[in-house]
């Protein structure tokens, strides 16, 4: 009984970490260490909060889904700081990632205070939960996996499957892994290592931004300048 009630929460808490770690995987496999994922999650959460609050009066519940796209775009753009420092300037990737984490927290709280007067942005509504029809009635696994689920959970699992396919079954994925494992060989084969690594870091930024937004629209409901230690 306790497991049945706690399992949906466990899944909801796991999804932001899963999607962010997938983003980290893209960056790492291309040869760029990205420890700025927490900062990118914070930026994504902030973008999602601002977008939801701004669009909710006109769009209603649809604003929450639009805010997820906004979070991905903002995460990808913000990750360009790390990409430029690490790839173009050949700076220390760990220090660059740490700087991203520090900048993100400070900048978003400052902007939130400018907008709202406090460092927090409260959402009027998040993503509603729902039972998956038919599957929720299955014995044992139905109540565990398909009861009171969030739409973002299924979105995350879809992106995970898509990411696996892109990384291991496409030419882009092969080039990306080659840039991480043998950049000189990839360069000799005519692959633009700079472009591939930039793309990989931007993908990691977009997915980390989505992870931060997922926390906000599912169980957090309020932006406060952090991602609860995740």
- Write the pLDDT tens digit of every residue in 45-98: 988 888 888 888 887 777 888 889 999 999 999 999 999 999 999 989 999 999
Q: What is the enclosing helix (H) or strand (E) of 163? A: helix 151-169
- pTM (2 d.p.): 0.91
Confidence (pLDDT) at 74: 94
Contact in structure between 215 and 230 (CB atoms under 8 Å): yes
DSSP, residue by residue, 117-147: SSS-EE-S--PPEEPPTTGGGSTTHHHHHSS
168: confidence class by pLDDT, cuts 50, 70, 90 = very high
In order of 11, 33, 184, 192, 216, the CA distances from 52 in angstroms are: 23, 31, 45, 38, 10
Print burial letters for 126-162: b (CB count within 10 Å at least 16), e (below 16).
Answer: bbeeeebeeebeeeeebbbbbbbbbbbbebbeebbee
Residue 130 main-chain phi, psi, to 5 deg: -155, 155
205: confidence class by pLDDT, cuts 50, 70, 90 = very high
Rounded Cα–Cα distance for residues 59 and 41 (Å): 24
Helix (H, G, I), strand (E, B) or coil at 44: helix
């Amino acid at each position: 009984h306790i497991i049945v009630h706690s399992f949906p929460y466990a899944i909801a808490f796991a999804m932001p970490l899963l999607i962010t770690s997938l983003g980290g995987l893209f960056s790492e496999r291309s040869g760029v260490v990205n420890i700025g994922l927490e900062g990118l999650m914070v930026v994504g959460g902030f973008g999602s909060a601002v977008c939801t609050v701004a669009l909710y009066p006109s769009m209603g519940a649809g604003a929450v889904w639009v805010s997820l796209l906004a979070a991905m775009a903002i995460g990808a753009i913000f990750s360009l700081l790390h990409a430029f420092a690490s790839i173009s300037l050949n700076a220390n990737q760990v220090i660059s990632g740490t700087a991203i984490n520090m900048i993100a927290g400070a900048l978003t709280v400052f902007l939130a205070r400018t907008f709202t007067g406090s460092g927090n942005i409260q959402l009027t509504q998040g993503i509603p939960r729902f039972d998956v029809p038919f599957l929720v009635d299955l014995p044992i696994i139905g109540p565990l996996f398909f009861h009171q689920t969030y739409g973002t959970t299924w979105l995350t699992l879809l992106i995970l499957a898509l990411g696996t396919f892109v990384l291991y079954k496409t030419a882009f994925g092969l080039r990306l892994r080659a840039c991480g494992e043998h950049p000189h060989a990839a360069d000799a084969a005519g692959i633009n290592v700079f472009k591939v690594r930039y793309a990989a870091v931007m993908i990691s930024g977009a997915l980390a931004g989505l992870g931060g937004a997922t926390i906000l629209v599912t169980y957090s409901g309020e932006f406060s300048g952090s991602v609860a230690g995740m």
